Chain A
Amino acid sequence: MSATGTCEYQPKDYKSDLKPIWCPGCGDFSVVQGIYRALAAVGRPPHEIAFVSGIGCSSRIPGYTTAYGFNSVHGRSLPIAQGIKLANPDLLVLAAGGDGDGFSIGGGHIAHLIRRNMDITYIVMDNQIYGLTKGQLSPTSQKGRVTCTSRFGSLEEPVNPLLYVLAYGAGFVAQASPTDLVGMAATIEEAIRYPGFAFVNIQSPCVTYGEEAQQIKGLKAISETLASLGHNPADRLAAMDLAQHYGEKLHLGVFYRNPEPPPTYGDLVKERQVLLSKDALPKERILDLFIKK
């Protein structure tokens, strides 16, 4: 904090003393760097940030920041994050985790946070595999992929995370890549600043159980920024069109940003609280509600 009381933060202010235990070369190292930078750019002090995750290699990420972290249970970062946001709307709430965490076990929650337009930024480290449990098929693994639970090749079509959240009406949908740290940080920053539910899919290669195509070199080859394509992020249908290329192309940047963000769930809650507060009986008299006159 500066002498004048204004806060200026450096990325390192968000870096905790815990040493990441990811495998050397894991994409998640770069994601956490991107998050440090984005948080510094937004400039909220760490104690006003709540960072929630589920379980997985990627879900270790809150522990590597100086924010209030919650490394919870598999697939449930979003419900916990929204409880935090509802309890204290002034906090900056982030949720993060893997593709398995977000789209398999926790897949049912995303639609509902989007419906509620919870002002939460959700970052998925999409490595198309289960890392922590050592290389099983994930919901974003390509069809035909051989893993230890699909020795003869997967029989399932992958989930398309971008289309999934676009279809449910998310107000902010973006994708980033560890090959472009600056772009990633800017995208995460924009997501945090978006008032409402914001989703960032980050291709984060697993160097231990991942396939060649997913490793950094391969990612570069299929990357293309949406800006270079002249994509208009206010155009939802165009965003859906581009999102079809998940898996073949790695489009980077903002697919969709609602130009007129609707009120968030938190705004509506506040409205209702204000509206009804005048009807509050003093708490000591709450049982008067049960008097039949």
Chain B
Amino acid sequence: MRKDLVFGMAGSGGDGIVSAGDSLLQAAAAEGYHGVMTKSFGSQIRGGESSCRVRISTEPILNPGGNLDVAVALNWEDFLKFGAELPVSGTTVVIYEAATGIPENQIPLVGVTPLQVIAVPIAAMAKETAGTERAKNTVVLGLIAGWFGIGAVAVMKGIRKKLAKKGEELVEANQRAFDAGRAFAMEHPLKASMNVVASETKGQVKLITDGNDMCAAAAIFAGCQFFGGYPITPSTEIMQFFTDHVWKYGGSVLQAEDEIAGIGAAVGASFAGKKSMTATSGPGLSLKSEMMGLASIAELPLVIVDVQRGGPSTGLPTKTEQSDLFAACFSAHGDVIRPVLAPTSVADMFRITIEAFNIAEHYQTPVIVLSDQEIAARKETLDPIDTTQFKIINRLVPAGADLQDYKRFKQTDNHISPISHPGMIGGTYLASGIEHVESGAPTNSGSVHARMNDKRTKKFEPLKDRKDLFEVTGNPNAPIAMVAWGSIAGVCREALAMAQAEGLDVKLLVPYLLYPVAEGVYNDFFASVQKGLVIEQTHLAQTFKLLRMHIDLPKGLKPLARSGANPFLPSEIVAALKTLVSELQRSHEGNLQPQE
């Protein structure tokens, strides 16, 4: 019996691969498992190849998993296009469409011998039982239910619900296809049982959502009343969620004519006193940079979500990367600090988005939530979240004496000035992108500029002491360390557990706050470190360089960086850690002096 299974499936556009993945995930949730599903598409709009990977476990899941335990290929050409996204190993059971005509001993997986390979006449079974090849995905679900013990009841329950409107006929056809799949599995047992242990939490409520929807829901929860944006993959679903829901809460959403107008409207809404947000991906972030500078100097709260994809330019629109880090920290000109936060999972997205609004409101600043395609599009099963534990912060509004001789940009001890908005008697002022004195009046004075720059950057100092925006796991005094953020952090958490299980003395730092760089937190973390890795999905090792810009890093700290589209595998990271350990041992052996 297994505690964890990773399925990978690929086919052509019409094969219903993603919908099968959805059904599997939902069935797993209904049966009490934790699950994660990621999808990946080719570059065609429709009809191209598509794939999904579903990981199911009795324990909470930190990443989509490494090598597949089960590979389903409806079409080898499509499957192979996802190469490293769907890695097959010596322990994988491969199920494929018999109609491809490829004999089992000749499947085109170069250099790997899977545990077992089974050709199944999937299309023929669909045709025979449901009268249409479109039921291929239901046959696959039946096979999975039969071989791996997942979804025997729940899958058909889900399908029934989904198809109820389309008539009993279609439901029955799918039931037959599903049963045929199961029957085939029973008649052709696997070499080794791969059934998953029954979950103890069967029947308990689970949420299923992806990072984008979670982000939008969190924003509305945090009190966001306005969204201005422009469609771009993979961020668009955030705007879609707003258009479905924000009106109910008295807010509104604008699909603007471009990214500049989208963020401009959000800046305007914030000036008018409402919490507001925009979301985009790389190319859109570039367009928004002038407005981000404006919001910084006008000290207006604003949340900007950047769902990273491969760049530069249009790059890899449907694949994940972490390479917008520099852009998030530094785009827009002048001396300016803009807090950058990164969630590591769908569940995190709730907390981090709320945090982004809280920081934006408290510090009167634009804040970037640096999501990525992987988190944005991956579906996770989640245990219900107690939303009442989250504190919501609103901007400091002037009252009483403050409004007598109101100064919008008044110097205060913590550099934060009460902020009025149109409609407030006594609070009128000029907001501007041009440098201004405390009242808001424009100035050309270099000394005022220096003072205001000081106000606008010093106000962020307390952020760096927010220990809750960092997570350290593993032995706090370990000599070997990892630093990782965003979706890669999940991979590293799992690598940490694997490494520890093998006896390595390792620790992991996951920053949720990427910028401003909290020197103190890193210095404390690095104190015991002799060797380490900054693990990131960028080509230029942007995270490593950002840290090096601010901190004297331990000499043994190196980047482990590569660009998208393929995330690191936990096993790959463990191997890299082992190399560090042996390097460390060798250097100790070479050193005759005892180490203090």
Residues of A whose CB lies within 8 Å of any CB of B are 18, 45-50, 52, 55, 60, 62-63, 66-73, 76, 78-88, 90-91, 108-109, 111-112, 269, 272-273, 275-277, 279-281, 283-287, 289-292
Contacts and interface: CB of A to CB of B under 8 A. Distances in A.
A225 B451 CA distance: 51
Interface in B259-316: 260-274, 276, 290-291, 293-294, 298
Interface in B190-226: 205-209, 213-214, 217, 220-221, 225-226
B581 to A, nearest CB: 42
Contact of A273 (B213, B247, B441): B247
Given A86-B252, A290-B208, A91 B423 contact: yes
CB-based closest 3 A-B pairs: A83-B268, A79-B264, A83-B265
A73 B294 contact: yes
- Chain B: number of interface residues, binned into ranges: 35 or more
A139 to B, nearest CB: 18
29 contacts: A18-B441, A47-B427, A50-B272, A63-B441, A63-B442, A68-B429, A68-B431, A70-B268, A70-B271, A71-B432, A72-B432, A72-B433, A76-B264, A76-B291, A79-B261, A82-B254, A83-B264, A84-B271, A84-B272, A87-B269, A87-B276, A88-B422, A108-B261, A111-B257, A112-B257, A276-B248, A284-B388, A290-B209, A292-B206
B473 to A, nearest CB: 26
A264 to B, nearest CB: 13
Nearest to A64: B430
Nearest to B262: A79
Contact of A62 (B158, B249, B250, B430): B430
A108 B256 CA distance: 11
A73 B291 contact: yes
B148 interface: no
B432 A86 contact: no
A84 B268 contact: yes
A291 B385 CA distance: 12
A180 B290 CA distance: 38
A83 B269 contact: yes
A90 B274 CA distance: 14
A69 B269 CA distance: 14
Nearest to A91: B422
Contacts of B293: 73
Contact of A79 (B247, B252, B268, B422): B268
Contacts, number: 202
Contacts of B220: 283, 286
B425 interface: yes
Nearest to B275: A87
A120 B248 CA distance: 25
Nearest to A115: B257
A283 B221 contact: yes
A6 to B, nearest CB: 16
B268 A87 contact: yes
B268 A81 contact: yes
Contacts of B36: none
B268 A90 contact: no
Contacts of A82: 254, 265, 268
Interface centre among B205, B263, B387, B441 (most CB of A within 10 A): B387
Given A79-B262, A109-B261, A289-B213, 9 more contacts: A69-B428, A70-B271, A72-B264, A79-B263, A82-B254, A84-B422, A277-B249, A283-B387, A291-B208
A287 B431 contact: no
B225 A87 contact: yes
Contacts of B298: 70
Contact of A47 (B214, B247, B267, B426): B426
B29 interface: yes
A133 to B, nearest CB: 14
Given A46-B428, A70-B430, A286-B220, A87 B274 contact: yes
A71 B267 CA distance: 12
Given A68-B421, A68-B429, A291-B207, A112 B261 contact: yes
Interface centre among B158, B431, B441 (most CB of A within 10 A): B431
B265 A86 contact: yes
B228 interface: yes
Nearest to A268: B252
